[in-house]
Amino acid sequence: MLGAIEAGGTKFVCGLGNEHGEIIERESFSTTTPDETMGQVVRFFENKKVEAIGIGSFGPVDLNKKSPTYGYVTTTPKPHWNQYPILQELQKHIHVPIGFDTDVNAAALGEAQWGAAKGLDSCVYVTIGTGIGAGAIVEGKLLHGLLHPEMGHIPVKRHPEDKYAGNCPYHQDCLEGVAAGPAIEKRWSQKGHNLQQNDQVWEFEAYYLAQAVTHLIYILSPKKIILGGGVMKQKQLFPLIHDQVTQMLNGYVQMDELVSGIDRYIVSPGLGDNAGLSGALLLAKHELLQL
């Protein structure tokens, strides 16, 4: 039995499953203070006989195993979680191998193994919800580097009619600052699910997300782009993004996936809401195999 934790900025999901990605048990709860939230995590795994656990965490996080702050959530704007040692806290209470990566890298891993990118050696998974983040598989491996992909904070060109200043505490009008769920709510004074009939809301949103997708195509050239998270539950976004990406590429990349199959190239998660949790099972399995 393997354990999995999808540590999101809004909610944590804990689960039990197997190496085939099957989720046997799951429980979710709101992300509050570290003490309260991690207490619930520890209680979930108490008396559960797991061989290893995988954590996919909201970030930024430190993934450098040689760093003194490996396993920390670092410069997050989320209250109370800045510089929090999430991995070490779990290790205090649960004495099994623990794999650790970003929540979006875990989701990309799950989608590449069992979901929308199954059989492909590259993909990008982007979540658009409380924040925006992305994980990438490149030539069969998770993409790491100086830090890890932080694609949610790329600069984007403002929509000509958008007067909202943006709400990222670091960059104001980066992608996350203008296109994440809180930005939609602050711009329009209502949550996105109450704005389904307002075409301008989704025109703005598609304009920003299409820029991000276009950047990903040019920089990483993935074989599949998967858009998940709460905002993408608005299914009317997909055809708008497909159209905008086509316009932005303007015929420059002549690949069938982009010319005639863009609706099969930019897609929703094949694993649905289980992408992150399934990927965390793989992180657990990989950690176990390294012993």
Residue 259 has pLDDT above 70, yes or no: yes
What are the sequence ranges of the domains in the chain?
A: 2-105+272-289, 118-267
DSSP strand pairing (123-128 vs 132-138): antiparallel
Give residue-wise pLDDT tens across range 184-229: 999 999 999 999 999 999 999 999 999 999 999 999 999 999 999 9
Secondary structure letter of residue 254 according to DSSP: -
Q: Is-same-fold flag (2-105+272-289; 118-267)?
A: yes
Give residue-wise pLDDT tens across range 222-236: 999 999 999 999 999
Residue 165 has pLDDT above 80, yes or no: yes
Closest by CA to 107, choosing from 92, 117, 97, is: 117
Extended beta strands in 129-233, E state: 132-138, 141-142, 225-228
Give the per-residue pLDDT at 199: 97
Give residue-wise pLDDT tens across range 58-76: 999 999 999 999 999 999 8
Residue 77 has pLDDT above 90, yes or no: no
Question: In CATH, what class is 118-267?
Answer: alpha beta
Q: What is the mean pLDDT of the chain?
A: 96
Report d(CA 41, CA 28) in Å as an integer: 9
Report d(CA 199, CA 208) in Å as an integer: 15
Secondary structure letter of residue 271 according to DSSP: T
The whole-number average pLDDT for the span 27-53 is 96
| Secondary structure element (H or E) that encloses residue 273, with its range | none
Give residue-wise pLDDT tens across range 100-116: 999 999 999 999 999 99
Give the per-residue pLDDT at 78: 87
Token duo for residue 113: 């193994």
CATH match of 2-105+272-289 with 3.90.700.10: no
Closest by CA to 230, choosing from 10, 45, 44, is: 10
Return phi, psi of residue 132, to 5°. -130, 130
Residue 291 has pLDDT above 80, yes or no: no
Residue 239 has pLDDT above 80, yes or no: yes
